[in-house]
Amino acid sequence: MKHIIILGDGMADWPVKSLQNKTLLQAAHTPYMDMLAAKGRCGRLITVAPGFHPGSEVANMSVLGYDLPKVYEGRGVLEAASIGVNLQPGDMAMRCNIICVENEKIKNHSAGHITTEDADVLVKYLQEKLGSDKVHFYTGVQYRHLLVIKGGCKFVDCTPPHDVPGELFRPLLVKPMEGHPEAQETADLINRLILESQKILAEHPLNKKRVSEGKDPANSIWPWSPGYRPQMETLSDIFPQVKQGSVISAVDLIKGIGVYAGLQNIDVDGATGLYNTNYEGKAQAAIEALKKDDFVFLHLEASDEAGHEGDIPLKIKTIEYLDSRIVGPVYEAVKDWKEPVALAVLPDHPTPCEHRTHTAEPVPFFIYYPGIVPDEVKNFDEISCVEGSYGLLKGNEFINEFMKKLK
């Protein structure tokens, strides 16, 4: 049996008054996910281990069954792997957002969803002006980039910028974690880089052009999520029958998880990480991968971005696109294959539109494969899945349940 996980990042949400107290999954038209939930079995999964921030890196690693207290080193190291930066002992990697600051406040975490092409110009400029033997900036995707500090101390307290839209940035500057005075030098260096980036980016011709076009200027870096190279087993080590697997995502940190998990990254033209991503291309890439691979992890970022924007209609559209343009085509393509395909669909965490950032509540999931004995759940949403026969899972229980036919 082959296996595919389709993950709608941030897809779960809260009940919304304007939707008659329905969640967005309840309000969205999702005939394929509802049908597969009814034909399969449902449950909920705790994806954020106690003491961890509900970040996408934490939640996606949990979905794949990794023991976070043992292997978690932040998202910077994952993104380093995805863009081919080989971290050396003592290298500290950080996600480095390019953000928009307005009137001393963080206007948004994405510089108005800057393109990779524009961001690359600025990241190279940052490296030219602020880089050194100790400090190196690397271009990632869109607003998501990488900062590596040689000899940096990871015990610094950093605030994810998507958690604090509209807040003054200065009180949020980096501090040493309590009990780690040795991290003061690293915190001071990062803060200096933030403030110096604001001075030089404000005057860059590309930002002056963006302002003249009515776009948000990309006028500050915001490094966060520090760590060192993680020690992760591959999925083949954990599930020996997975001889070959793939990951399909527009997001560097997901690709990086794939690298450490031993999965091949498949790039899809037009995969943006937004609502306008190439859904058809990603679905077809997954179908083609399943013809040769034992395991595919197909990740869609769009719902998470809509949640961060607080855009309810857009988030509903992204959920419906996931259903009609990803889940439906994949299911229709593989449903009659001689070698059966097990299919699971779930979010990694909620990103409620009302809250505009991640939360740690359990997420709904379903597992379907030909011959599975269904439970009583008829719809795929946060409320219905409470009644699912899998109950409330945690740790590696979901992935073990999903993959148990291989053992």
342-391 pLDDT, tens digit each:
999 999 999 999 999 999 999 999 999 999 999 999 999 999 999 999 99
At 405 the pLDDT is 57
As given in the structure block, the two tokens for residue 217 are 């200027």
104-145 pLDDT, tens digit per residue, is 999 999 999 999 999 999 999 999 999 999 999 999 989 999
122 and 210 part of one domain: yes
H or E segment to which residue 343 belongs: strand 341-346
- pLDDT of 58 higher than 70: yes
62 and 91 part of one domain: no
At 406 the pLDDT is 39
205 and 243 part of one domain: no
Q: Model pTM?
A: 0.84
Alpha helices in 295-374, H assignment, sequence order: 302-309, 312-321, 328-334
Instruction: Print the domain residue range for 240.
Output: 2-72+232-406
Q: How far apart are CA 156 and CA 169, in angstroms?
A: 16
263 and 297 part of one domain: yes
218 and 268 part of one domain: no
**Closest by CA position to 308, among listed 109, 29, 48, 19:** 109
Query: Which of 176, 194, 227 represents a domain boundary (last residue)?
Result: 227
As given in the structure block, the two tokens for residue 56 are 């996408």
**Closest by CA position to 10, among listed 360, 276, 320, 258:** 360
Helix axes 184-202, 116-130, angle to 10 degrees: 120
Query: Which of 227, 246, 278 represents a domain boundary (last residue)?
Result: 227
| CB contact at 8 A, 7 and 61 | no
Query: Which of 170, 198, 227 represents a domain boundary (last residue)?
Result: 227
As given in the structure block, the two tokens for residue 65 are 């069954």
240 and 381 part of one domain: yes
| CB contact at 8 A, 270 and 278 | yes
